Amino acid sequence: MSISVSELTKVYGPQKAIDRLSFSLKKGEVVGFLGPNGAGKSTTMKILTGYMPPTSGQALICGMAVEDQPLAVKRKIGYLPESNPLYPEMYVRECLSFTAGLYHVPRAAERIEAMIALTGLKPESNKKIGALSKGYRQRVGLAQALLHDPEVLILDEPSSGLDPNQLAGFRELIRELARDKTVLFSTHILQEVQALCDRVIIIHEGKIVADDRLSALGGDSGNTLLTVSFEEAVEAGLLQDLPGVQHVRALSARSWVLTTEQAAEVKKSLWQLALQNNLNIVSLQSDTPLLEEIFRKLTTGARPDNP
């Protein structure tokens, strides 16, 4: 496994920041690490990268214990922290050259130019970091994390500050990197998780409350919740038989929630169903994406409704 965590715990006085976390990631996985503010995401990432020791438990990177072999582990990891500390007085290439020297990167000049191209920094590469927008500073941090060609990428809020065009480029970059690397990233943008990840780990109050594939959790990127209300009572079977409907959940005899990947088609079918059966639709709307609903319920103490 590229990342293996067992019973990882961090205690600050009377407070447990993380409480016996256990999970593992294999090569080629892109895993979203989710949780509300204060859940323990950044603490976990700092432990994995050797910036902070755990109170108990063990973290392994590529089979090496982080506490026992910190330098060897750091060579395997590319880390972009949430704060993204940079030297504002340095030029972009100067900063990357400094980082390449720390890692003893071979053919550093070639590698720097390759990372500038890969992360889309070329238009701003002759500027000082202090003159860059937040989005371009994020790109510098990502280029730094990739310079030494690590096997594992740990990214804490990597898409912060990126505009919609930059977000699209970021998604393509992560997909490309995932071919031969392991990627663990935290974000509050759930659409990024839906677009990039097959699997999510959700933590709340320092504990894992979900660790599964998006399809198993019901959070596929294409899924939509349609809420439909009728004037009359409707049998579940009528709705379940509609093409494209994956799951039907009753709110009442007249109101139903449908899970589908084909929202537009199912909406048309609902209107046709109403006409054919003399039913009157009072309201029809697309509700919160499933991943957002699952996240909200798991991190507010309510039980999720698994479709």
**pLDDT tens-digit readout, 206-246:** 999 999 887 667 655 567 778 899 999 999 999 999 999 98
**pLDDT tens-digit readout, 154-176:** 999 888 777 777 777 888 888 88
Q: Report the b/e string of 16-43 with b at 16+ CB within 10 A.
A: bbbbebebebeeebbbbbbbbeebbbbb
Q: What is the CATH number of the domain that holds 55?
A: 3.40.50.300
Please report which residue ranges of the chain form alpha helices under DSSP H: 41-48, 70-76, 92-102, 108-118, 134-146, 164-177, 190-196, 214-217, 236-240, 263-276, 290-298
Clarify whether residues 167 and 275 are in a common domain.
Answer: no
Residue with the bigger pLDDT between 168 and 39: it is 39
SS3 content of the chain, % helix, strand, coil (to 5): 35, 30, 35
pTM of the model: 0.74
Domain of 253? 224-288
pLDDT reading at 146 higher than 90: yes
Handedness of CA 177, 39, 66, 20 (dihedral sign): negative
Q: Which two tokens stand for residue 146?
A: 């990739």
Clarify whether residues 115 and 141 are in a common domain.
Answer: yes
Least confident stretch, 108-112, 176-180, 201-205, 271-275: 176-180
**pLDDT tens-digit readout, 126-142:** 999 999 988 899 899 99
Q: Looking at this protein, which amino acid is placed at residue 251? A: L
According to the model, what pLDDT value does residue 304 have?
42
In a domain, 250, yes or no: yes
pLDDT reading at 3 higher than 60: yes
According to the model, what pLDDT value does residue 285 have?
82
Helix (H) or strand (E) holding 185: strand 182-186
Clarify whether residues 181 and 230 are in a common domain.
Answer: no
Clarify whether residues 134 and 260 are in a common domain.
Answer: no
Clarify whether residues 36 and 156 are in a common domain.
Answer: yes
Clarify whether residues 40 and 175 are in a common domain.
Answer: yes
Q: Which residues contact 85 (CB under 8 A, 6 or more apart)?
A: none
Clarify whether residues 238 and 165 are in a common domain.
Answer: no
**pLDDT tens-digit readout, 49-106:** 999 999 999 999 999 999 999 999 999 999 999 888 899 999 999 999 999 999 999 9
Clarify whether residues 172 and 37 are in a common domain.
Answer: yes
According to the model, what pLDDT value does residue 279 have?
93
Q: What is the CATH number of the domain that holds 272?
A: 3.30.70.100
